[in-house]
Amino acid sequence: MVSSIVTIFFFLISLTIIVSSTTDTISDNFTISGDKTIISSGGIFKLGFFKPGSSSKYYIGMWYNQLSQPTIVWVANRDTPVKDKNTSVLKISDGNLILLDGKNQTPIWSTGLTSTSSVSPLKAVLSDDGNLVLSTSDSSATVLWESFDHPAHTWLPGGKIRYDKRTGKSQKLISWKNQEDPSPGLFSLELDVSTAYKILWNGTNQYWSSGPWNPQSQLFDSVPEMKLNYIYNFSFFSNATESYFTYSIYNHLNVSRFVMDLSGQIKQLTWLENNNEWNLFWSQPRQQCEVYAYCGSFGICRDKSQPFCLCPRGFKPSSQKDWDLGDFSAGCVRKTELQCARGDINGFLPLSKMKLPEKPEVVVVSSVGNCASACLRNCSCKAYAHDGGSNRCSSWSKDVLNLKQLDDDNSEGYTLYVRLAASDMPSGGSGKSNKMMIFGAVLGSLGVIALVLLAVIVILRYQRRKRMRGEKSDGSLAAFSYRELQNATKNFSDKLGGGGFGSVFKGVLPDSSDIAVKRLEGISQGEKQFRTEVVTIGTIQHVNLVRLRGFCSEGNKKLLVYDYMPNGSLDSHLFINQNEEKIGLVWKLRYQIALGTARGLAYLHDECRDCIIHCDIKPENILVDSQFCPKVADFGLAKLVGRDFSRVLTTMRGTRGYLAPEWISGVAITAKADVYSYGMMLFELVSGRRNTEQSENGNVRFFPSLAATVLTKDGDIRSLLDPRLETEAVDIEELTRACKVACWCIQDEESHRPTMSQVVQILEGVLEVNPPPFPRSIQALVDTNEDVVFFTESSSSSSQNSSQKQQSHASSSSSSKKTTNNNSSA
């Protein structure tokens, strides 16, 4: 009896808790305070007080109710936080939704409606699409205000970004100030009168635009990658008073959002249920340093390094706390204040390979020497640069914004000289510097304008490390010093090619063996992690994979060393001039290359300890040895650059013709992405040409759709064959198999594509292959019959690639132990 009363008692308590915590409505009867929240009726979104990170301030925010990562999508009181959520309250009052702060109940945020005509009580309902709607609670439910009209930094599906034609104003998405401060930051996205989205810095400087909306193609001019997007349905609305975009998600189960990020980039993210994380798959501008003034005054932005921002020598972050929270906008300040006017000695610090800041105050024609001395003499001159070509001298008297350091390979760029207190100048005698230093110093005496210009050239070279050549430090891998590789490659002078992960240079070791040295870019990993990863790659050995010979890791200098292969890469044998007499490769060799490549990939996918996804299969990455045995190059590198898939996507822009659709649809990438690229390449082996080609009359020929048509309509399979092989006795059985398997490989559904081991078995004739269906995305391209935006653009860059001598690195001695896959499948 007693126990049942107790049970009922607890039941009632839990019932009250459930009842009170599952309403979706703020009304006269329900206010938000303390830990109370409202949840949308389907349980998707939640609204209540939150505290970002380690901040001590509270905000009214909206977030996903069911995701394991707290993700705020809307903030009401962005710049008026409250200190105590228990005494603050969000409620309906005076025809508005208002937030009252603290014991005095001061109103600090409100929906700001002035009309008090409504007599009916109001309610604010949180809906499942993430909209908080204030309306009358009578049967008409007249909407008075909705949070979709007042976005913070996130644009949810169903939301609108509106341009008001009468006022000429746009709604904006504005980034947070930093990770812990949702108040409006410097970066904003808005719609302009020409129907283009643009991103502005501090409401003024535009640094990215989507280009106007093209009603015909239903795309933004500068965002062609929207084309192959199976997630979003964008639509545009316009009448006399307003225009706006909205979007929906085809599959309502997918969770997705657009964010104006702290980084100054607009980002599209989808939730990956299996990984429990947000996957970034599209962002603009692509490069961090394209974001205007990202690193603030005197901050130097470098795309290929992490962190992206750094301060020049003699400077420090003006607020380390802000930098730690991801806000670099305050930039750098001098460690020692300039006391120029008092006649102190100043120096000029050279910053090389710079993109110059905007708007120099003075530009005059003068020699280098005059340029330097003019700036030195004038205390308000903070920086100068001299352009040898035009003999022009530019100088700046204010803080310089938008400093950007270009890559080492980039031949452009200027040297910017920045004024520093002499005590902060690198001193010639310390021996710490290994760079060439030029600085001028001025001696002012007793306020008399008597100046002496000193130019001191100090060349310091010192060897940081002993030579380590030949030292086998990590298993069978040799560790090289940077200096050694610099010598071997004649200071990286003979470039063999550039790839997604860095450029490749030819080199010769002192023992006169030829090597190919890959200088990696964008490696964000720590030393230990890098070595671990490289050693892993070094242990992957297969007759159809190039073998890593050694590496170099000194600070951010990361290089990989492979054997040099004079026979080059597949594209150089395949895509030779069609008019030449040569037939490129005979059919037998092509089939052998297709099979060998498939074996190499199958080994990467199945036989290694962790499945390795190559991510960049294309003819340029298939090298051939003297026997025309194919060797897959560049594997394992996608992992080295980290799990940020968008980053990989960025680096793979040039090879989009080989990219599987899931790269742009935002799902996690699996080994089947390689299968897709392999299929594309297999078609090229058959036709002997790039899949996408523009003919003389301007038509775009897309071979895979041609092939798919022949295959699905029982056409003449021989018509697909490289015309140069016409006279050759080609095994039709093999040709059919190759075409069919290629068509299976490029199916949209990953589950419809075979695995690489199945491909091997099919090509070996062990497995039968059924007639393939027409791949859907290719079907779409055929249907619309317009120019194939997504595929054509790559052809120019890839043909440029193919005309270059290609990198080649291979292993002559890799006929070693681990050829199990080869044996078992033979």
Ligand X SMILES: *[C@@H]1O[C@H](CO)[C@@H](O)[C@H](O)[C@H]1NC(C)=O
Residue 796 binds ligand X (CB under 6 A): no
Decide if residue 577 touches ligand X (CB under 6 A). Answer: no
CA distances from residue 350 to 120, 188, 462 in whole angstroms, order as listed: 70, 34, 20
Distance CA 475, CA 430 (A): 38
Beta strands 45-50 and 38-39, pairing class: antiparallel
Residues 347-366 that bind ligand X (CB under 6 A): 361-362
20 scored as a contact of ligand X (CB under 6 A) = no
Q: Which is nearer to ligand X, 108 or 629 (CB)?
A: 108
Positions in 74-113 near ligand X (CB under 6 A): 84, 86
Q: Is 30 exposed, middle or buried, given 0-12, 13-18 or 19+ CB atoms closer than 10 A?
A: middle
Q: Based on the number of CB atoms within 10 Å of its own CB, is 347 exposed (0-12), middle (13-18) or buried (19 or more)?
A: buried
Q: Is residue 56 part of the contact set for ligand X (CB under 6 A)?
A: no
* Residue 803 touches ligand X, criterion: CB under 6 A: no
- Residue 152's nearest CA partner among 183, 126, 129 is 183
Cα torsion 300, 303, 307, 313: sign: negative
Q: Is 717 exposed, middle or buried (0-12, 13-18, 19+ CB in 10 A)?
A: middle
CB of 234 to ligand X, least distance (A): 8
> Is 765 near ligand X (CB under 6 A)?
no
Is residue 35 part of the annotated active site? The answer reads no
Contact call for residue 135 and ligand X (CB under 6 A): no
Instruction: Decide: is 471 part of the binding site for ligand X (CB under 6 A).
Output: no
Q: Which stretch binds ligand X (CB under 6 A): 27-35, 704-712, 733-741, 744-752?
A: 27-35
Tell whether 639 is in a known binding site. no
Nearest residue (CB) to ligand X, 86 versus 276: 86
Contact 746, 676 (CB under 8 A): yes
What dihedral angle (degrees, nearest 10) is formed by the CA atoms of 157, 284, 557, 515? 100
Given the rule CB under 6 A, which of 61-69, 298-306, 410-418, 659-667 is the region that contacts ligand X? Answer: 659-667
Query: Per CB under 6 A, which region of 36-44, 250-258, 476-484, 508-516 contacts ligand X?
Result: 250-258
Active-site annotation holder among 571, 616, 625, 722: 616
Q: Which is nearer to ligand X, 379 or 711 (CB)?
A: 379
The region of 377-385, 497-505, 747-755, 774-782 touching ligand X under the rule CB under 6 A is 377-385
Decide: is 240 part of the binding site for ligand X (CB under 6 A).
Answer: yes
DSSP 376-436: HH-TT--EEEEETTTTEEEEE-S----EEEPPTT----EEEEEEEEGGGSPPTTS----S-
Choosing from 23, 183, 205, 254, the residue that interacts with ligand X (CB under 6 A) is 254
Instruction: For ligand X, give the closer residue by CB, 240 or 729.
Output: 240
Among 314, 666, 679, 772, contact with ligand X (rule: CB under 6 A): 666
Which of 430, 452, 431 lies closest to 441, judged by CA?
452
The type of residue at 419 is R
- Separation of alpha carbons 101 and 314, rounded Å: 45
Q: What is the largest CA-CA distance in the chain?
A: 104
The DSSP line for 168-224 is TEE-EEEEEEETTEEEEEEEEEEE-TTS-EEEEETTTEEEEE---EETTTTEETT-G
Interface pick for ligand X out of 2, 5, 19, 253 (rule CB under 6 A): 253
Query: Which one among 21, 34, 65, 734 touches ligand X, defined by CB under 6 A?
Result: 34
29 binds ligand X (CB under 6 A): yes
Using CB under 6 A, which of the segments 112-120, 337-345, 373-381, 762-770 binds ligand X? 373-381
- Looking at 340, 593, 667, 762, which residue binds ligand X (CB under 6 A)? 667
Q: In the complex with ligand X, which residue's Cβ is closer, 254 or 709?
A: 254
> By rule CB under 6 A, what count of residues binds ligand X?
33
Q: Residue 774 carries which side chain, given as an amino acid letter?
A: F
Q: Which is nearer to ligand X, 613 or 706 (CB)?
A: 613
Q: How far is CA 146 from CA 75, 149, 189, in A?
A: 13, 6, 20
Specify the pairing of strand 181-191 against strand 106-110. Answer: unpaired
Q: How far is the CB of 231 from ligand X (least distance, A)?
A: 6
- Classified as helix, coil or strand, 762 is helix
Tokens of 79: 């710049």
| C-beta closer to ligand X: residue 328 or 683 | 328
Query: CB under 8 Å to 400, separation ≥6 — which residues?
Result: 297, 298, 357, 382, 383, 416, 418
Stretch that binds ligand X, among 232-240, 694-702, 749-757, 768-776 (CB under 6 A): 232-240
- Quick one: residue 79, left, alpha or beta (phi over 0 = left, psi -120 to 50 = alpha)? alpha
CB of 769 to ligand X, least distance (A): 27
- What is the closest distance, in whole angstroms, from the C-beta atom of residue 248 to ligand X in the complex? 6
Give 184 or 636: the residue with its C-beta nearer to ligand X: 184
CA atoms within 13 A of residue 164's CA, in its CB half-sphere? 8
The CB-of-439 to ligand X minimum distance in angstroms stands at 20
Q: State the alpha helices, DSSP H only, in 581-643.
A: 587-602, 637-640
Q: Quick check: 370 binds ligand X (CB under 6 A)?
A: no
The minimum distance between CB 519 and ligand X, in angstroms, equals 35
Q: Which of 40, 318, 373, 395 binds ligand X (CB under 6 A)?
A: 395
Q: Are the beta carbons of 478 and 549 closer than 8 angstroms?
A: yes
Binds ligand X by CB under 6 A, chosen from 23, 27, 136, 712: 27
Under the criterion CB under 6 A, does residue 123 sit at the interface with ligand X? yes
Q: Which residues are annotated as a binding site?
A: 518
Question: What is the binding site for ligand X (CB under 6 A)?
Answer: 27-29, 34, 84, 86, 121, 123, 137, 202, 231, 233, 235, 239-242, 248, 251, 253-254, 270, 329, 361-362, 378, 380-381, 395, 397, 665-667
Q: Which residues are annotated as a binding site for ATP?
A: 518
Residues with a catalytic annotation lie at 616
